[in-house]
Amino acid sequence: MDLTDNVRISYNRVGAQWLRCLSSVMVSKKAQKARVKAARSRPDRVPALLRHFLTRQMLRKTEIIQAFELAFAGVVLGEGMNLRRTEVASSCGEQPFDFSDPEANVVDDWRAIPLRELNRAHMAYLDAAGWRYYLPAMAIALLDDYEDDQYGPSEMRIIGTLMSLDIQESLGSHEYFYSTLTLAQKCAIALYLQHLPSWVELNISDVRLRKRALKNYWVQFLVEV
């Protein structure tokens, strides 16, 4: 085999590698277009206003709240776990559950849940349906009531909310929770995490938690859909 044959073989190998790479890029682009097309045709298509928010560099606090209200409109607790039951679970049954308290029975309008009720939350004990119902109320409450006090009445609510959005913190267990969300709801959460530092001065550990949550999962929903 002479030098010409060796060169020809080398070119053939390079050409085959180039064709494989080109084919991979073409398939990747086709797959991306297919995902975008599917997202636009799904019944949970993102509302126009929420899509507009995704194009903005800055959102007002009221617009972040509006994003949640649009995405989570009509979400009810259903068969999900009540916040009072998370107290019972966290105390191994020693904390009694009071069904007579009307604040414990706001199960069909998350916007009407009082802050003192949200402060009872032990987010780690919520099931998927309970987490989906209470999350928007928890997230919005954090915008208006954030305190850097590990012994404060809202500390469990704050850390529980942010940790529940970090797929790494939950060791992947919350991936199922996220799968119960619509595309619009995922976009609203992604917008929330992106713009949270503009409206809340987080402590250093919460800064890291927010960044990690956004990077590890939610950033993919910040693209225009």
Q: Tens digit of pLDDT for each residue in 163-172? A: 999 988 776 6
40-65 pLDDT, tens digit each: 445 468 999 999 999 999 999 999 99
Confidence of residue 87 (pLDDT cuts 50, 70, 90): confident
Confidence of residue 79 (pLDDT cuts 50, 70, 90): very high
Q: Would you state the pLDDT for residue 9?
A: 43
Confidence of residue 120 (pLDDT cuts 50, 70, 90): confident
Can you tell me the distance from the alpha carbon of 140 to that of 189, in angstroms, rounded to the nearest whole number?
A: 11
Q: Would you state the pLDDT for residue 147?
A: 76
Cα 172–chain centre separation:
13
Count how many residues are written for the chain. 225
Same domain, 59 and 28: no
Q: Would you state the pLDDT for residue 152?
A: 60
Confidence of residue 104 (pLDDT cuts 50, 70, 90): confident
Same domain, 52 and 36: no
Domain range for 134? 45-221
Residue 122 burial by Cβ neighbours in a 10 Å radius (0-12, 13-18, 19+): middle
Same domain, 98 and 156: yes
Same domain, 22 and 102: no
Q: Would you state the pLDDT for residue 107?
A: 92
Same domain, 118 and 35: no
Same domain, 70 and 160: yes
Can you tell me the distance from the alpha carbon of 164 to that of 179, in angstroms, rounded to the nearest whole number?
A: 14
Can you tell me the distance from the alpha carbon of 20 to that of 45, in angstroms, rounded to the nearest whole number?
A: 35
pTM for the predicted model, two decimal places: 0.76
Same domain, 49 and 133: yes
- What domain count does the chain have? 2
Same domain, 149 and 123: yes
Same domain, 131 and 25: no
Confidence of residue 177 (pLDDT cuts 50, 70, 90): very high
Same domain, 102 and 162: yes
Same domain, 70 and 102: yes
Can you tell me the distance from the alpha carbon of 83 to that of 119, in angstroms, rounded to the nearest whole number?
A: 9
Same domain, 119 and 211: yes
Can you tell me the distance from the alpha carbon of 161 to that of 141, in angstroms, rounded to the nearest whole number?
A: 10
